[in-house]
A and B are shown apart, each in its own frame.
Chain A
Amino acid sequence: MPKGVLVDITRCFGCRSCQVACKQWNDIPATPTTFSNNWDNPPELNAYNWTRVGYHLIEKDNQTKWRFVKTQCMHCEEPACESACFTHSFVKTKDGPVIYKPTELKQDFCVGCRYCMIACPFNIPKFEWDKALPFLRKCRFCNDRLHEGLEPACVTACPSSALKFGEREELLAEARQRIDANPAYIKQIYGEKEYGGTSWLYLSDVPFEQIGFKTNVSEKPIPLYSWNVLKWTPYIFVGWGAILTALYFYTKRRAEVHGEEMYAALETMEEEKK
């Protein structure tokens, strides 16, 4: 059964334990940080920071309030990166994680074209720009821990139970329960339907668009879009080929029958126009 994580934004207080746990478990090197006009640190996700808590100052009930949003790969049910990659380096596993085969399974077919970065609706895959032969890096849903029956490192580290790991279906049921029990929640589970659904699900008490989420997005999985245009390729190949071949022999014969005359007639027409 596919796993998921439910992120309850009302419970997060921005301690960044998840960021530290992620670095420790995945053995990612520390990176120099920079000032941003906010309290977030690091300012952005990159090849060496796979998760990050974003700090959002919002107006709610005439008060200024903090909301903290953990971001990482959403692990789409039907990932855009998987459909975009022509070496099939990103795959969705049956447990839920979307993994990158060159680092995860040592199946290195990736050419580093970065089309996945163009394709991902959440701008998640990041590139090791400083390496000579760079990999794409992103949250791997602690694929190895899941195999051992453990939770992802960030979930284990979370002290406020803002993160809950479990079966995706059960988490959806629980999310609906929480929404029904408390009117403060926005009546939406982000990730339930977005782009065909994601393994990571979010609950919030403030509108999602105010805390950096992309809302009003397509509920159709992105791979369907490209498949809907790609599926015509064989027909175009055969059909266009047939048309061209027919045209080739038809006009060749016409040229032979009329010989010089056809071109002569055309030339005269041109002359007359001038």
Chain B
Amino acid sequence: MQKAWSFKLTPTRYILIALAVIMLVIVLVRFILGLGVVTNLNDHWPWGLWIGFDLLCGIALAGGGFSTALIVHVLHRGKYLPIARAALLTSMLGYIIALVALLFDIGRWTNFWRPFFYWGYHSVLFEVFWCIALYTMIQVLEFGDIFLERVKSFPLKKVLGYAMTPLIIIGIILPTLHQSSLGQLYVVAVDKLYPLWWSMIMGFFFVWSAFFLGPAMVTLEGTLAARSYKRTPELPVFQSLTKVTLWMLIVYLIVKIIDLVYRGVFSLAFNGSFESNMFLIEMIVFVIVPIIMYAIPTIRTKLWGVVTASALVVVGVIFNRINVVFTGMAAQMGGHYFPSPWEWLVTLGMWSILILGYLFIIENFSILPKEEHAEEVAVSHGASVGKGVPSGV
């Protein structure tokens, strides 16, 4: 029996919808009048908030999708299954947002379809573009499996069932490639990007950090979802995931140091410049501190401990991307850039749409694992789908 679609509107959701509408208006102006009217981008700073944050950070934050897919579907660690669907959902929404951000940002937006037909394979951007586009499609197909549980179509579900294994495997290869090629984008900025960040193996750093960010992101959003839907957080799952993050962080730190020493720029980290200080903050607060927190059992086994450490990892990856796009390029690009209010509003609007989409899907499809007391919550909130409307969201 088909249940009715439900999306209860709370005050917070009205605000999110309002932000989304404001964004649409600004974007319309931007499409008609051009980037210069809406953004503070200039010849010194061709890439700003939308590329630096929405695209680079959004894609990195969506890394939870492919690391979870690898752990659950390829390594068959069944105990992590409860988080797989939520991870896929956030990842898919993150990619869609990133693609939309890209469409807003490109100057000649009427040509957005050209790269599908004109192959500049010598460009790193070619790899980024194709992998992101294909992977978004694959995630939508993977999600189709969940969608078809709700919207019944057995022939479709059967076909999709056969395709699922290759889809999942390609759905790990593609993000591996483009997460690394997002880093490789900046290989071309040799002599421009500050040597503490520029490296021939930036691709490795980007894909590695996107991967270890996955478990941290899953922990954070799992805790948030649990809190707002009045569920018990899957603490045991989060805790055993910390081992993955811990070892990957240690490897990241070691490779980073080897890379700096090998290129003979290790001393730049301590020369007291703005870049070196930002680099030290990035490495100490967002890499070494989480390593210590994950390594100490009394911190790791507490919910606050694992959540704080995960938050540090997530913020750390954002901090790293921002350092690459802005801090590391500032000396060579010159000029000045700070996002205009309109740019901020568009970013806010896009993330509002992401949250709204997440909430709608969570409440209408079986994403979060079934739970004993979910029924009680549903009753107490009077919701009809058997899942509660979150408190405060």
Contacts and interface: CB of A to CB of B under 8 A. Distances in A.
Contacts of A135: 108
A121 B191 contact: yes
Contacts of B108: 108, 110-112, 133-135
Chain B binding site: helix, strand, loop or mixed by DSSP? helix
B306 interface: no
A112 B76 contact: no
A109 B107 contact: no
A113 to B, nearest CB: 5
A263 interface: yes
Given A134-B34, A229-B184, A241-B173, A112 B109 contact: yes
Nearest to B45: A117
Nearest to B33: A132
Interface string B177-189: 1000100111111
A88 B121 CA distance: 9
B137 to A, nearest CB: 17
Interface in B65-104: 70, 73-79, 102
Interface stretch (B112-120, B146-154, B275-283): B112-120
B240 A110 contact: no
A114 B176 CA distance: 24
Nearest to B124: A226
Nearest to B103: A111
A113 B50 CA distance: 12
Contacts of B37: 130
Nearest to B43: A126
Contacts of B187: 225-226, 229
B214 to A, nearest CB: 16
Contacts of B185: 115, 118
Interface string B19-38: 00000000000011111110
A230 B183 CA distance: 12
Contact of B123 (A45, A86, A252, A267): A86
B296 to A, nearest CB: 13
B200 A270 contact: no
B122 interface: yes
A110 B122 CA distance: 15
Contacts of A47: 43
B188 A84 contact: yes
Contacts of A218: 190-191
Contacts of B41: 129
Contact of A129 (B36, B170, B301): B36
A274 B118 contact: no
Nearest to A45: B43
B79 A248 contact: no
B80 to A, nearest CB: 10
B107 A225 contact: no
Interface string A208-224: 00000010011000110
A248 B111 contact: no
A238 B167 CA distance: 15
B13 interface: no
B167 to A, nearest CB: 12
A226 B126 CA distance: 12
B43 A110 contact: no
B382 interface: no
Interface string B322-360: 000000010011000000000000000000000000000
B369 interface: no
Contacts of B380: none
B122 A108 contact: no
A229 B200 contact: yes
A114 B33 CA distance: 18
B106 interface: yes
B363 interface: no
Contact of A225 (B44, B79, B188): B188
A133 B176 CA distance: 33
A251 interface: yes
B260 to A, nearest CB: 18
B203 A229 contact: yes
The 4 closest A-B pairs by CB, nearest first: A112-B107, A129-B36, A114-B46, A86-B123
Interface of A: 44-47, 80, 83-88, 108-115, 117-119, 121, 123, 126-135, 214, 217-218, 222-223, 225-230, 233, 236-237, 240-241, 244-245, 247-248, 251-252, 254-255, 263, 266-267, 270, 273-274
15 contacts: A83-B122, A87-B111, A87-B115, A111-B111, A115-B125, A115-B185, A134-B35, A218-B191, A226-B184, A228-B200, A230-B124, A248-B74, A252-B76, A263-B78, A270-B240
Given A119-B188, A226-B188, 18 more contacts: A86-B126, A87-B111, A88-B120, A108-B108, A110-B108, A111-B115, A112-B107, A113-B125, A115-B123, A118-B192, A128-B107, A129-B35, A129-B36, A130-B34, A132-B34, A214-B191, A254-B76, A255-B76
